[in-house]
Every structure is written in structure tokens, then in C-alpha cells.
């Protein structure tokens, strides 16, 4: 059986593949590399309360878009 082309897969396809083939380390690392390359996360310091989210409007906007 030939190995799938992980580079050609979208993040969604690769995520599904990793879930279906949990022992495939090459697929897992390809998925993590792709996530890192796309960098769709928002970094912020730890919050002390929920109210502090008001100081991070870009994070709230990201949450609204992804929901």
C-alpha cells in the first residue's frame, strides 16, 4: 500500500486521516507542521477572569468567525 501525499491534503483532510490512522506518526507530524505553517491561532497571555477578554477584541473576533 502506498503512503498518501500529506502535503497535498488540506488541514481538514489531514485531520480526518490522523484520527482514522492514530498510529501513523508521519501523518501526525505532517498535520502539526501544516497547522504551524498556517498559524491560525491567536496568542495571548493567560487570563485571570472572563472579563479580561474585553481587552482582546481580535481574539473575540476570531472566535466569532470560527463559530
- Look at 25 and 1; give whichever has higher pLDDT: 25
Query: pLDDT digits over 20-64, tens only?
Result: 999 999 999 999 999 989 877 767 778 888 888 888 888 788 888
Provide the number of structural domains found in the chain: 1
pLDDT at 57: 85
Is 1 within a domain? Answer: no
| Structural domain that includes position 55 | 6-66
Whether residue 8 is predicted with pLDDT greater than 90 in this model: the reply is yes
Cα-based angle 32, 33, 39 (whole degrees, multiple of 5): 90
CB 4 within 8 A of CB 20: no
Instruction: Give the pLDDT score at 14.
Output: 95
SS3 22: coil
Q: What pLDDT score was predicted for residue 42?
A: 67
pLDDT for residue 67: 66
Amino acid at each position: 500500500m502506498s503512503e498518501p501525499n500529506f502535503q497535498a491534503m488540506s488541514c481538514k483532510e489531514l485531520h480526518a486521516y490522523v484520527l482514522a490512522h492514530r498510529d501513523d506518526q508521519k501523518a501526525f507530524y505532517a498535520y502539526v507542521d501544516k497547522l504551524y505553517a498556517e498559524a491560525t491561532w491567536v496568542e495571548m497571555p493567560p487570563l485571570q477572569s472572563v472579563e479580561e477578554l474585553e481587552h482582546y477584541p481580535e481574539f473575540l473576533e476570531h472566535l466569532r468567525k470560527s463559530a
